[in-house]
Amino acid sequence: MSRLTVITDRALERALDLAHSAGDGIKHAGGNLGGSLRHLGPTAADWLKTGAALGAVKTGGRIATKAVRRNPAVTIAAAAVGVGLLGYALYRKQQKKKLAGGHVVNGQAQRVAARDRRVNTVVDEHSDIGSDA
């Protein structure tokens, strides 16, 4: 056992002791304040999800780097397709803006037959709406 290992082990034990004492202090302070402080920080499940996501990103990055190094032509072709799709999406967005500016809506219209409202109009002779009285 080297001297560096002993120092590292002692430092690790000391750090763990400090973390435990800090956790106990927070727990007791939360109890004295009338509530728990557990809801303030992230839970273990949150840390686990974050760690898994970071691991997936790291692994995915390695795989992508290897694929790019092995197949540069495929990478260039995929980038060209991506740029083309992005350009097409921008074109479609501009077309929709132009149509919206002209008050044209993409969709289906349904024609409604006009009614003659004069036939069904009821005249109330006791109403004073519209009269000069």
Does any domain span residue 49? no
Within-domain flag for 3: yes
Tell me the pTM. 0.34
pLDDT of residue 38: 55
Residue 21 lies in a domain: yes
pLDDT surpasses 60 at 69: yes
Is 130 inside a domain boundary? no
Measured N-to-C along each axis, helices 72-101 and 44-70 cross at an angle, to the nearest 10 degrees, of 110
What gap in Å lies between CA 98 and CA 109, rounded to an integer? 19
Establish if 89 belongs to a structural domain.
yes
Q: Using one digit for the tens of pLDDT, what is the confidence trace for 16-43?
A: 777 777 777 666 665 555 555 555 666 7
Domain span holding position 79 = 1-38+55-98
Structurally, the chain folds into a number of domains equal to 1
User: Per the domain annotation, does 25 fall within a domain?
Assistant: yes
Percent of the chain at pLDDT above 90?
A: 16
* Alpha-carbon distances of 62 from 55, 66, 77, 88, rounded to whole Å: 11, 6, 20, 30
- Residue 33: inside a domain: yes
